[in-house]
Structure 1
Amino acid sequence: MNPVKWLLYTLLLFNLFQFSTSIDTITENRSIRDGEIILSGGKVFALGFFSPGNSAKRYLGIWYNQILEKTIVWVANRDHPISGRSGILSINGQGNLVLFQGNQSTLPVWSTNVLVTSLNDTVAQLLDSGNLVLSQNGSENMLWQSFDYPTDTMLPFMKLGLDRKTGLNRFLSSWKSPDDPGTGNYSYRIDPTGFPQLSLYKGSDKWWRTGSWTGKRWSGVPEMAIDPVSNYNFVNNQDEVSIMFVVTDPTILSRIVVNESGMQQRFTWNRHENKWFRFWSALKEQCDYYNHCGPNSNCNPYRSDVFECTCLPGYEPKYPREWYLRDGSGGCQRKLGMSTCQNKEGSVKVARVKVPDTSVTCVDMSLDLNECEIKCLSNCSCIAYTSAYSESNSGIGCLTYHGDLMDTRTYTNAGQDLYVRVNVAELALHAKNGSLGKKKIVAIVISSSVAILLLVALVYGFYRRKIKVSISTFTSSTFLDVSLSGKDQDGNRRNTDLPLFDFSTIAAATNNFSIENKLGEGGFGSVYKVVISLLKSLDLNLFSELSCLFLT
Structure 2
Amino acid sequence: MYQERGILVSMQILLILRFCTCMDTITLIQPVKDGDILVSNGETFALGFFSPANSTNRYVGIWYNKISEQTIVWVANRDRPISNSTGILSVDHTGNLVLQEIDQSFVFWSTNVSGVVNDSFTAQLLDSGNLVLFQGLNKEVYSWQSFDHPSNTYLQGMKLGLEKKTGLNRMITSWKSSGNPGVGDYSYKLELVGSTQMFLFKGMTRYWRAGSWNGLGWSGVPCMTKGNIFIANYINNDDEVTIAYHMHNPSMLSRVVATESGTLERLTWHESDRKWVEFWSYPNDQCDVYNHCGPFGFCDPNASVTFECDCLPGYEPQSPQDWYIRDGSKGCKRKVGIHMCEVGDGFVELARVKIPDTSSAHVNMSLDLKACKELCLRNCTCKGYASADISKGAEGGGCIMWHRYMNDTRTFLDGGQSLYMRLDAAELGTLSVLLLSKLNFHFEQTICLFLSPFTFLKNTIILF
For normalisation by structure 1, the TM-score amounts to: 0.74
Structure of higher RCO (CA pairs closer than 8 Å, 6+ residues apart): 2
Residue type of the alignment partner of 1:377: L
Match of 1:108 in 2: 107
Q: What is the SS of the residue equivalent to 1:181?
A: strand
Match of 1:517 in 2: none
Q: What is the SS of the residue equivalent to 1:418?
A: strand
Structure 1 position 434, deviation (Å): 4.2
- The answer on whether the counterparts of 1:367 and 1:396 sit within 8 Å (CA) in structure 2 is yes
Instruction: Write the mapping of 1:432-511 to structure 2, written as runs, cut at 5 A.
Output: 432-434=433-435, 442-444=443-445
Residue type of the alignment partner of 2:114: L
Match of 1:128 in 2: 127
Which stretch has the larger CA shift, 191-200 or 126-135? 191-200
Match of 2:168 in 1: 168
Number of aligned residue pairs = 423
Structure 1 position 422, deviation (Å): 1.1
Match of 1:394 in 2: 395
| Superimposed CA distance per residue, residues 4-30 of structure 1 (whole angstroms, 9 cap, x where no aligned partner) | xxxxxxxxxxxxxxx999700001111
Match of 1:289 in 2: 289
Identity of aligned residues (%): 51
Instruction: Write the mapping of 1:26-65 to structure 2, written as runs, cut at 5 A.
Output: 26-65=26-65
| Superimposed CA distance per residue, residues 245-282 of structure 1 (whole angstroms, 9 cap, x where no aligned partner) | 00122210000000000011000100111110100000
Match of 2:262 in 1: 262
In 1: Cα distance, 2:21 partner to 2:431 partner: 70
| Superimposed CA distance per residue, residues 362-394 of structure 1 (whole angstroms, 9 cap, x where no aligned partner) | 110000111001111111111111110112211
Structure 1 position 433, deviation (Å): 4.2
Instruction: Write the mapping of 1:111-510 to structure 2, written as runs, cut at 5 A.
Output: 111-117=110-116, 119-139=118-138, 140-391=140-391, 392-434=393-435, 442-444=443-445
| Superimposed CA distance per residue, residues 411-457 of structure 1 (whole angstroms, 9 cap, x where no aligned partner) | 0111111111110011112223449xxxxx854589xxxxxxxxxxx
Q: What is the SS of the residue equivalent to 2:231?
A: strand
Match of 1:458 in 2: none
Match of 1:529 in 2: none
Structure 1 position 146, deviation (Å): 0.1
In 2: Cα distance, 1:345 partner to 1:152 partner: 48
Match of 2:450 in 1: none
In 2: Cα distance, 1:352 partner to 1:228 partner: 18
- The answer on whether the counterparts of 1:346 and 1:422 sit within 8 Å (CA) in structure 2 is yes
Q: What is the SS of the residue equivalent to 1:302?
A: helix
- The answer on whether the counterparts of 1:191 and 1:197 sit within 8 Å (CA) in structure 2 is yes
In 1: Cα distance, 2:445 partner to 2:94 partner: 76
Residue type of the alignment partner of 2:149: Y
In 2: Cα distance, 1:289 partner to 1:421 partner: 26
In 2: Cα distance, 1:142 partner to 1:273 partner: 39
Of Structure 1 and Structure 2, which has the larger fraction of its residues in strand?
2
Residue type of the alignment partner of 2:273: E
Match of 1:80 in 2: 80
- The answer on whether the counterparts of 1:212 and 1:358 sit within 8 Å (CA) in structure 2 is yes
In 2: Cα distance, 1:260 partner to 1:23 partner: 33
| Superimposed CA distance per residue, residues 300-329 of structure 1 (whole angstroms, 9 cap, x where no aligned partner) | 011243211110011000001111221111
- The answer on whether the counterparts of 1:21 and 1:37 sit within 8 Å (CA) in structure 2 is no
- The answer on whether the counterparts of 1:339 and 1:423 sit within 8 Å (CA) in structure 2 is yes
Structure 1 position 338, deviation (Å): 1.9
Structure 1 position 67, deviation (Å): 1.2
Structure 1 position 130, deviation (Å): 0.2
| Superimposed CA distance per residue, residues 477-521 of structure 1 (whole angstroms, 9 cap, x where no aligned partner) | xxxxxxxxxxxxxxxxxxxxxxxxxxxxxxxxxxxxxxxxxxxxx
- The answer on whether the counterparts of 1:120 and 1:136 sit within 8 Å (CA) in structure 2 is no
Residue type of the alignment partner of 2:108: V
Change (3 A) 1:43 1:433: farther
In 1: Cα distance, 2:435 partner to 2:173 partner: 44
Residue type of the alignment partner of 2:427: E
- The answer on whether the counterparts of 2:316 and 2:332 sit within 8 Å (CA) in structure 1 is yes
What is the root-mean-square deviation of aligned Cα atoms in Å? Answer: 1.9
Change (3 A) 1:347 1:445: closer
Structure 1 position 119, deviation (Å): 2.4
Gaps of 5+ in 2: 1-18, 437-441, 448-464
Match of 1:550 in 2: none
Residue type of the alignment partner of 2:406: L
| Superimposed CA distance per residue, residues 153-206 of structure 1 (whole angstroms, 9 cap, x where no aligned partner) | 000000000111110010010000000000000000011121111100001010
Q: What is the SS of the residue equivalent to 2:303?
A: coil
In 2: Cα distance, 1:43 partner to 1:297 partner: 50
Change (3 A) 1:68 1:20: farther
Q: What is the SS of the residue equivalent to 2:251?
A: coil
In 1: Cα distance, 2:446 partner to 2:395 partner: 25
| Superimposed CA distance per residue, residues 97-127 of structure 1 (whole angstroms, 9 cap, x where no aligned partner) | 00002312x3411111111135241110000
In 2: Cα distance, 1:301 partner to 1:371 partner: 33
In 1: Cα distance, 2:251 partner to 2:37 partner: 22
Structure 1 position 237, deviation (Å): 1.7
In 2: Cα distance, 1:423 partner to 1:267 partner: 47
Residue type of the alignment partner of 2:147: F
Q: What is the SS of the residue equivalent to 2:269?
A: strand
In 2: Cα distance, 1:399 partner to 1:113 partner: 42
Gaps of 5+ in 1: 1-18, 436-440, 447-552
Q: What is the SS of the residue equivalent to 1:359?
A: coil
In 1: Cα distance, 2:38 partner to 2:21 partner: 6
Residue type of the alignment partner of 1:275: K
Structure 1 position 240, deviation (Å): 1.1
In 2: Cα distance, 1:228 partner to 1:305 partner: 31
Residue type of the alignment partner of 1:85: S
- The answer on whether the counterparts of 2:362 and 2:402 sit within 8 Å (CA) in structure 1 is yes
Structure 1 position 232, deviation (Å): 0.4
- The answer on whether the counterparts of 2:28 and 2:119 sit within 8 Å (CA) in structure 1 is no
- The answer on whether the counterparts of 1:296 and 1:311 sit within 8 Å (CA) in structure 2 is yes
In 2: Cα distance, 1:324 partner to 1:278 partner: 36
In 2: Cα distance, 1:20 partner to 1:366 partner: 54
Residue type of the alignment partner of 2:75: V
